Amino acid sequence: VKAAVFASGTGSNFQAIMEAGPMPCEIAVLVCDQPEAPVIEKAEAFGVPVFSFRAKNYASKEHYEREIVSRLEELGVEWIFLAGYMRICGPTLLQAYTDRMINIHPSLLPAFPGKDAIGQAFQANVEATGVTVHYVDEGIDTGPIIAQQEVPVMPDDSEGTLKKRIQAVEHQLYPAAIKELILIK
Ligand code: GRF
């Protein structure tokens, strides 16, 4: 089974997927909308082909998503794993990969959707937040939930220490959820 990871930034979740040991899928391509993002070097180090693009070079979201879909279809990609991909997916991608596109989000959804979920939780003074793996639909962080794990907020946490704790959980939960999902589908 072939899969694509979509990312825009650091790529620590991409790296966690690559280092998770035997996976039921091959990461056939990294799709990245930020040609200078650190995740690109990570992909190259793992020998994973990269498709990077700048949205502003296309007439619309539909245009760049059509190109993405045609590249994925050429490669025989069946699954998309969003890992810090900072763009809202449009109908072109969603229709091509219905029920085959998942995302990781650093909160216990439906709490704190959207950008800066860790900062939102920190500001809200909650006792616990977490990590969610979910299917992608047309909303922002609204699709059906696949896996969740709670992460406590400690009294002496800074946003930075909370972020570290959440990311450590992400790096375990995402590969585990992918393994389970692809084995049962
Ligand atoms: C992660 O916190 C993920 O949950 C969110 O974006 C962040 C990406 O981080 N969707 P990285 O690029 O994988 O390090």
Amino acid identity of 77? V
Q: Compute the distance between CA of residue 121 and CA of residue 155 in angstroms, rounded to an integer.
A: 13
Ligand 1 atom with the smallest distance to the CA of 166 is: 2
Mind listing the pLDDT tens digit for each residue in 152-180?
Answer: 999 999 999 999 999 999 999 999 999 99
What's the CA angle centered on 103, arms 31 and 132, to 5 degrees?
150
- pLDDT by 10-residue block (mean), the chain, 185 residues: 98 98 95 98 98 98 98 98 96 97 98 97 97 96 97 97 98 97 82
Instruction: List pocket residues of ligand 1, CB cut-off 6 Å.
Output: 7, 9-13, 83-84, 104-106, 170
How is the chain split into domains, by residue range?
A: 2-184
Q: Name the binding residues for (6R)-10-formyltetrahydrofolate.
A: 61, 103
Q: What is the pLDDT of residue 184?
A: 73
Q: In whole angstroms, how far apart are CA 68 and each of 61, 90, 126?
A: 10, 12, 39
CATH 3.40.50.170 assigned to 2-184: yes
The interface predicted TM-score of the complex, written ipTM, equals 0.95
pLDDT at residue number 183: 87
The structure's pTM equals 0.96
| Two tokens, residue 135 | 């299917």
